Structure 1
Amino acid sequence: MHKNTRYFHQVASAIRRNNKIDALLINGRLIQNQARIKVVIREFYKDLYRQEYVFMIGFQEGMVKKIDGEEATAMKVMLSIEEIKMAVWDCESTKAPGNDGYNMNFIKKCWNEIGKKFAATIIMFFQSAKLPTDAKVISKVLVRKMRLVMPGLVGETQSAFVKGQKIHDKALIACETVQ
């Protein structure tokens, strides 16, 4: 038992010796004092990770424009059957069926037979604000309309609502950077 304890103590001591920094060469100068080595390493990392001055955008400068009258009018224009059809074709065909039991593939394949009635149901939602049908198509229609005005509404300091990015992308990048 005593031999095992001495053996592990020797291994731990050897590891400690191997992990110790005996000297550093900084700008052509050899530093061997342990206290000075700690200070030099600390200063190196302080300098490496110091916070640089970054121009801060004030509250007013970060504001984005509002939708102008022309854009607002365009957003209010009632949908056409063609716009609704394009929104249907934007939807994934094989996803789970909606409340009505049909998936988008069915609606696409049967568009010639049911398209006008389906579009009328979507238009009825925009007229009455009552949700009678598949919310996927309504959300796609809204997304297609909003794409026209979003570039002017999203400021440089915002990372959400940018095409091709997800709201959590910046948080993930920050976590990866910290690690």
Structure 2
Amino acid sequence: MIKDLKKKFRLNMLGLIETKKSTVTKFEVVSFWGQDNVGWEYVESDGASGGLLLMWDEMCFKMNNCYKGDRWLSVEGIILKNNFYCAFFLVYGAHVRDEKLVVWEELSYTAGLCQVPCCFMGDFNEIIQAEERKGNASLSISAEEFKSWVQDMLLVDLPLTDRTFTWFRGWSCSRIDRVLVNLEWMEEFPEIRLRGGPRGLLDHCPMIVEDTSMRYGPRPFRSLDSWFTHEGFLRVVKEEWKGLGNLQLTDKLKALTIPLGKWHTDNFGDMDKKIMKFEEEIKKVDDMVSMGLYDGTVEARRKALVTCCEK
């Protein structure tokens, strides 16, 4: 899932919830991220449950302070691109009302310590509107308390642009995953938007926050793991590289993208279309569940689609 997201999107920060890991090593983080210029902090799991991991591109974000709770993790620092001092909070909401109240209080206190614009993201395990849980007619006491906390903190609940629910289990579905930012954050990133990624066989959809106004400089050279499984890939690279003569390394890489793009289309183009079609069909199944059109064959069809897509 992590590699798929990194292939599709330029990720500057990535949070993982319920890692189920008591320790996280640098080797594991670099393997997840794909490069060694990665900063990271984690909260250990409680046995085989829980665990948080927050990773970021050190060329984009510099951490100054880190704060941790049993069910949340915060890094305070600066986004280097626009010299923006801020704090990111990764949250894994509790299941019991009393424990939820403790988490909200801890988050409020820590945000007060930081005294910078804050972005809260994760699985809050709670809804704000009754329609965010299928078949629900009213808010529970804990949902009302969560809604009041969001209002008291003057947070903006970023609207989800492409789906109604983020968590699915059988016929049950809710929107319990969200991103909350304060007004200063909205002023700095007016083009910010939130959308859901493909959930595969997971219960939750990944939340993807994008700011369309940000520009990140020249596009980096990228390759796909699947290229290296093709017997003709290295031969093509060697031949093209020789033909580029004595150009500078960056100029060679730039020139190499054109023939590699054509080679990819010739050898993997049809596969890209097949994957896209499978993902569209998987999204349709999720939409059927969201609208209440669930029966015993829907989840089986979804698993079959995911299996074909992964293959």
Both structures adopt the same fold (TM-score exceeding 0.5): no
Q: So what's the TM-score if we normalise by structure 1?
A: 0.24
Give the alignment's TM-score, normalised by structure 2. Answer: 0.17
Identify the structure with bigger relative contact order (alpha carbons < 8 Å, sequence gap 6+): 1
Which structure dedicates a bigger proportion of its chain to strand?
2
